[in-house]
Amino acid sequence: MVIRKNRLGKRAALIGLLIGLFGGFETERLEENPFLLTSIAKAAEVKQASSVLVTERNEKKRKSDEPSETSKKSYQPTFKKYSMFNSAVYVYTSGTNETLKVSLGTSKLERLINMKMNKETAKINMGMFGPGSQHGGMYLVDGKYIQAPSARYISLHLYKDGRIDIANYDNKTFARSKLNQLKQQTNFVVGTSYALVQDGVKNLENAYRFSHSTQRNPRSLFGQLKDGRYILVAVDGRSGTSKGVTADQSALIMLKLGAVEAVNFDGGGSSSLVVRGKTVNRPTENRNIGSALFVVKK
């Protein structure tokens, strides 16, 4: 094998020498010497083959540098407590192998701690509600259209690829074609209250519809990080040790935590966050609620 490599090297050197010697000859003179023409042609073939090999090698290196599906970072769920804006902030961050589910509970209002979901790891109170567990805003789950949208309540979407998005629909202009599209593309669309963050930027759309948005209150917040994980956030309020936050402060908290999309859920006395079966924040009331967002194991 070594001898063959040496021979190839000598042949390439000879071809290069011939090209150097006769490269300046006129075309007519080269045509008179078939040997030179053959040698030059072989040299061109060697050069082209070498170029192809280099290109293939570079392409293989580029592909090897790209992260594969199996090499993507895996995350474990975490729970942390912070102090922001003179308030206690509780944050559950989902793990890689967790997803979201929603529940309207039963036919009546009930406490979050009593609302159950198979394989749940965390849950937080969700939408606004009225008497008899009437949910505020749109409710579309697993292709079932339960309640129409309302312009008062921002709708939270969970798409089948795990991505979340927020939008505001008015029932008067909500097209049937859009509904059919959402049925096919989402796991759920649920009305909340107002937006906090959209595309990584503070966006308080619909906050003006809620007078309490400018006041410091307990809050329940939800968002998605750039890497796809979800964050469930509860903020204590109305106490000497935790004042609560406004809508604007809520948005700043979610941005600080890294959310690229975020919404405000029902707050005040409804605000409650349960992690692994235990209420981790300090609710001002043990209020019965109408809907909840669950983090569950896949």
**Segments making up each domain of the chain, as ranges:** 2-65, 71-297
Q: What does the pLDDT read at residue 58?
A: 60
Q: What does the pLDDT read at residue 264?
A: 98
Q: What does the pLDDT read at residue 158?
A: 97
Spatial separation of the C-alpha atoms in residues 295 and 276, rounded to whole Å: 10
Q: What amino acid is encoded at 242 in this protein?
A: S
Q: What does the pLDDT read at residue 202?
A: 98
Which residues have C-beta within 8 Å of that of residue 242, sequence separation ≥ 6? 86, 87, 88, 235, 236, 282
What would the pLDDT profile of 171-225 be if each residue is shown by its tens digit?
888 988 999 999 999 999 999 999 999 999 999 999 999 999 999 999 999 999 9
Q: What does the pLDDT read at residue 22?
A: 46
Q: What does the pLDDT read at residue 176?
A: 87
Spatial separation of the C-alpha atoms in residues 197 and 221, rounded to whole Å: 11
pTM reported for the whole predicted model:
0.76
Q: What does the pLDDT read at residue 52?
A: 57
Which residues have C-beta within 8 Å of that of residue 208, sequence separation ≥ 6? none
CB 255 within 8 Å of CB 198? no
Q: What does the pLDDT read at residue 229?
A: 98
Spatial separation of the C-alpha atoms in residues 240 and 224, rounded to whole Å: 31
What would the pLDDT profile of 139-181 be if each residue is shown by its tens digit?
999 999 998 999 999 999 999 999 999 999 988 889 889 999 9
Q: What does the pLDDT read at residue 20?
A: 52
Q: What does the pLDDT read at residue 39?
A: 58
- Which two tokens mark 245? 């936050």
pLDDT tens track, the chain, 298 positions = 444 445 545 555 555 544 554 454 444 444 555 555 565 556 556 556 556 565 666 665 555 554 444 446 899 999 999 999 999 999 999 999 999 999 986 567 889 999 999 999 999 999 987 665 567 899 999 999 998 999 999 999 999 999 999 999 988 889 889 999 999 999 999 999 999 999 999 999 999 999 999 999 999 999 999 999 999 999 999 999 999 999 999 999 999 999 999 999 999 999 999 999 999 999 999 888 989 999 999 9
CB 222 within 8 Å of CB 190? no
Q: What does the pLDDT read at residue 207?
A: 96
Place of tokens 């930027």: 201
Which of 115, 95, 89, 107 is closest to 294 using CA atoms?
Answer: 115
Place of tokens 């006395």: 269
